[in-house]
Structure 1
Amino acid sequence: MIYAAGGIALAAATPFATGCSSNQGSSEVKTPWDDLPGVLARIVPPTFPDLHFDIADYGALGDGETDSSAAIAAAIRACGLSGGGYVDVPPGVFITGPVHLESNVNLHVGERATLKFSTDPNRYLPAVFTRWQGIECFNYSPCVYAFQKTNIAVTGKGTLDGQASNDNWWRWKGLEKFGWAPGSPSQDAAAARLNSMGERGIPVAQRVFGEGDMLRPMLIQFYDCANVTVDGLTVRRSPMWAIHPVLCTNVTVRSVTVESRGPNNDGCNPECCTDVLIEGCTFDTGDDCIAIKSGRDNDGRRIGTPTVNVVIKACHMKYGHGAMTIGSEISGGARFVFLDGCTIDTVGWVVRVKSNARRGGTVEHVYVRNVDANTIRESALTADFQYEEGSTGSEVPVLRDVHVSNMRVRESHQVMTLLGIPGATIDDVELEQCTFDKVEESSTVQNAGAIELSEVIVDGAAIRDVAGLIK
């Protein structure tokens, strides 16, 4: 396997090959993991002036009944005008509409403090510039939102509660299991209209959605921001994706617990971002725990910004679809993704790459190590270029340079599922020092290139090549 060194900051560096040295005359083996400290050195949480603005001083009441939106907005405004600092949420339950951050503001939700967000959709209007499933538009404001801000954070040991349920946001998905009834309206018509606008290149200013369209907002979304941190919080009952940085640089998501099993309730979705650290988080989600994205179809190609340098460390995936998914909104591509030292209880996939002939996108340099997993309902490693059956198009998705080492899975349906399409690329995939027990079915490999196995054990037997997986 050929290892590519660097990431964007080292794009001009010479790639290193296994068994080769970056220094002449040395026998040292260079791997991508050796470049990880350089990536992490750039991911530094912002600091804030030691100035504190308690929302209670601006009239907020933590009685679980009084609307504190105006008080919270006033505290944020005062903090920003003072040059920055902390907007403190003290113990109590504070009802609020959407919260919009300013530069240099740390919204600090303290221990035993909860922000409960209104379930009245009208509170999230007027529409803001946002992205919905990979396509730019104007739509309901996220619960916590920032646009083109620098040095922003949401921190503390408190809780952000979106209050989503089958009685409100979740039923908009259009599934009976989430409270929708046949014949009732859902998000489907608006989602199709937005997709069509993106495909036809309709100007974003004309893609305006809101009342009656039922496109659910994210819980936290930072759009086109720099120096971003979400730290320590519990995030519950999100209307849609829970934590969604878009076009952001220098992002830290640390020690966050996401508890949200609704539809499309992904835990953390960095999209078109550079230098992202997701560390020490716990995910119990109704969709993917972490999903790396970069825009959908033509709109993603129009923006043309990949997600680069994502580091996922020491996270616990309790429940979800994919522990780490790349796609399906991946038209801008992704590269240099590192997953290290994570534990998994029950998910569908450990690593899943999703695309098709409409999405396209190049995904490369994906490195996974030291994963301990209990139950995998589908496959430990999946590349699905046939995602969303029936999708046709002229785009060519690419996946290459994927290295998985020291993965232990105690129970899984399959070890590997690689579903390519003619003309696309799934190549240079390696599993090394991995153990899989209680595997129900043989692996599936279609339209894939080089796959290498080294010290792979399946149900106690050494498997030396892919033929041994597919039997």
Structure 2
Amino acid sequence: MSLSRRDFARASGLAAAGLLLPTGIAAAAADPWHEVPSILARICPPRICGKDYDVTAFGAKGDGLTKNTEAFQRAITACHRAGGGRVVVPAGTFLTGGIRLLSNVELHVSEGATVKFSTDPEDYLPLVLTRWEGTLCHNYQPFIYAFEQKNIAITGGGTLDGDAVNGKWASWGAGSTTLLRQWGEDGVPVEQRIMGPGKNMRPNMIQFFRCQNLLVEDVLIRNPAMWSLHFVFSRNITVRRIEIYSTNSQGDGVDLDSSSYAHVHDSKFNTNDDCVVLKSGRDADGRRVGIPSTHVVVERCKFSGRWGGITIGSEMSGGVSRVFCRDCEINAPDFPGRYPIKHALYVKTNQDRGGVIDGVHLRNVFGQNVEREVLFVSMYYQNGGTKGFFPRIDNLTIDRMRINGGRIAATFRGFPQQHVRNVRITSSAFTAIAEPNLIEHTDDLVFRNTTINGVVPA
């Protein structure tokens, strides 16, 4: 496509303004990686000042037996009311129910400390407003929860243990998902979507809901009942030097859900589902809310686990854009995980979702032994859906990827009614690949300086 000088200037201006562009113009206007420094400049971890509040001074006991829910909350409330500071968990094992974080509070889990969460669902009442796999409802409080707060941190070299391999969580499965999803489709008012007792909907491990200026660093998060670290309608997020070990079929690592300006780096993911995931609501409920996830940078992470390293969807009805992942390793020999990653890039959606994915960029992602497709981009998730809200997937770039071992290097599947558009795979090498690429209804797919088993793809 040839652009006049006037058209090129117009396209460049639209890109700077953050608007969606026609396929060819967007690619011509700028290298997308030029935007990363400005994204990172807008992400500033909170600086929380004030004195320390040791939870043992508020009655907590690190014997692994005493339930410390009230002591934790007394310490957090006192810290918050004093204007902020650190709530310190010293060495020991501290059993607790749900923790509610407040503004200007840093929960510091010291090295040698374990916060172990109760397996009794009654310890996560009353119900709170949450988003459960993309649909708003009222459910059990996540193990750690913050609602409409700012300047919050979870830090330290200790462990947050959901203990979900034990107790009722392990037997609940997915719970009443069919009912909740129907409520979302029917537009039932959110205040009437009451889950909780009798519905068996497992809560997330950590959830920040409508929060800003957030930091999670250095902790080990293990054994969640559901997703590990979930940001909903939140902004200015830093996740660094953490390790996640999840145990169940809904055990995602970091879920950025209708959230923006997030930096995830120098972390390790050993998950039973996806590692770093971009979401924005499910189907009709997600389209009604209409808040995208955008401006995300992921770098220097190690991914092992059951499904995707970098994943978009499937709940992406509000849209996802401006996602950058670089210098990450798949199935590292020194961090093998329980399962090999199935996809380095996993984009999953269907015609029930709608929404737009615009701008997902990977650079210098390397690794080995990918179980299925290295690059898997499909509109046929769960057989493609039935509702006629065809999603858009535009502007994907993969640069300097090096993967040794996988079933297929690249699968891109659009609908006849809505193609995947504008894909660039450059300066990459895929070796020990068992089967040929699968490309359907994909426009402007370009392989440049790229080989699969030593051969330049057609």
Q: Residue 376 in 1 paired to residue 370 in 2?
A: yes
Would you say 1:219 and 2:205 are equivalent positions? yes
In 2: Cα distance, 1:12 partner to 1:323 partner: 27
| SS state at 1:377 partner | coil
Report what 1:312 is aligned to.
Answer: 298
Q: Is the 8 A contact 2:15 2:21 kept in 1?
A: no
Alpha-carbon distance in 1 for matches of 2:236, 2:13 = 17
SS at match of 1:440: strand
Could you tell me how far apart the structure 1 residues matched to 2:235 and 2:299 are? 18
CA 1:360/1:65 → structure 2, altered by over 3 Å: closer, same or farther? same
In 1, the alpha carbon distance for the partners of 2:230 and 2:15 equals 22
Q: Match for residue 241 of structure 1? A: 227
- The residue that corresponds to 1:410 in the other structure is 404
Contact 2:151-2:214 at 8 Å conserved across structures: yes
Q: Tell me if the contact between 1:7 and 1:336 (Cα under 8 Å) persists in the aligned partners.
A: no
Amino acid in the other structure paired with 1:154: I
Counting only pairs closer than 5 Å after superposition, residues 50-449 of structure 1 correspond to structure 2 as 50-165=50-165, 167-173=167-173, 187=175, 190-345=176-331, 346-389=340-383, 391-449=385-443
Quote the offset at 1:394 in angstroms.
1.6
Once the 2 structures are TM-superposed, how far is the Cα of residue 280 of structure 1 from its aligned partner? 0.7
How far off is 1:446 after superposition? 1.4
Identity percentage of aligned residues: 38
Find the counterpart in structure 1 of residue 337 from structure 2: none
**Deviation of 1:170 (Å):** 2.9
Partner amino acid for 2:281? G
Q: What SS is found at the alignment partner of 2:360?
A: strand
Q: Conserved in 2, the CA contact under 8 Å of 1:379 and 1:415?
A: yes
C-alpha contact (below 8 Å) 1:8/1:308 kept by paired residues: no
Flag as ranges the 4+ runs of structure 1 deviating above 2 A: 1-20
Worse overlay, 382-391 or 134-143: 382-391
* SS of alignment partner, residue 214 of structure 1: coil
| CA-CA distance at 1:422 after TM superposition | 2.2
Partner of 1:46: 46
Equivalent AA in structure 1 for residue 46 of structure 2: P
Structure 1 residue ranges without an equivalent (≥5): 23-29, 174-185
CA distance in 1, matches of 2:27, 2:224: 47
Report the Cα distance in structure 2 between the residues aligned to 1:84 and 1:210, rounded to whole angstroms. 32
After TM superposition, give the deviation of residue 426 of structure 1 in Å: 0.3
Give the counterpart letter for 1:205 in structure 2: E
Matching residue's letter, 1:51:
K
Tell me the SS of whatever aligns to 1:66: strand
Distance 1:221 1:446 in 2: 38
Instruction: Please give the alpha-carbon distance, in whole angstroms, between the structure 2 residues aligned to 1:166 and 1:77.
Output: 30
Give the direction of change, closer, same or farther, for the CA distance of 1:81–1:313 in structure 2 (3 Å limit): same
Q: How much has 1:169 moved relative to structure 2?
A: 1.2
Task: Answer yes or no: is the 8 Å Cα contact 1:55–1:88 preserved in 2.
Answer: yes
Q: Which structure 2 segments of 5+ residues have no match?
A: 332-339
Does the 8 Å CA contact 2:119/2:168 hold for their aligned counterparts? yes
d(CA) in 1 for partners of 2:193 and 2:243? 33
Q: Which amino acid aligns with 1:239?
A: A
Instruction: Using the TM superposition, give the Cα deviation of residue 460 of structure 1 relative to its aligned residue in structure 2, in angstroms.
Output: 1.7
Question: How many residue pairs are counted as aligned between the two chains?
Answer: 442
* SS at 2:65 equivalent: strand
**Whole-angstrom CA distance in 2 between matches of 1:39 and 1:448:** 29
For the 8 Å contact 2:248–2:272, the answer to whether it is kept is yes
- TM-score calculated relative to the size of structure 1: 0.90
- SS state at 1:170 partner: helix
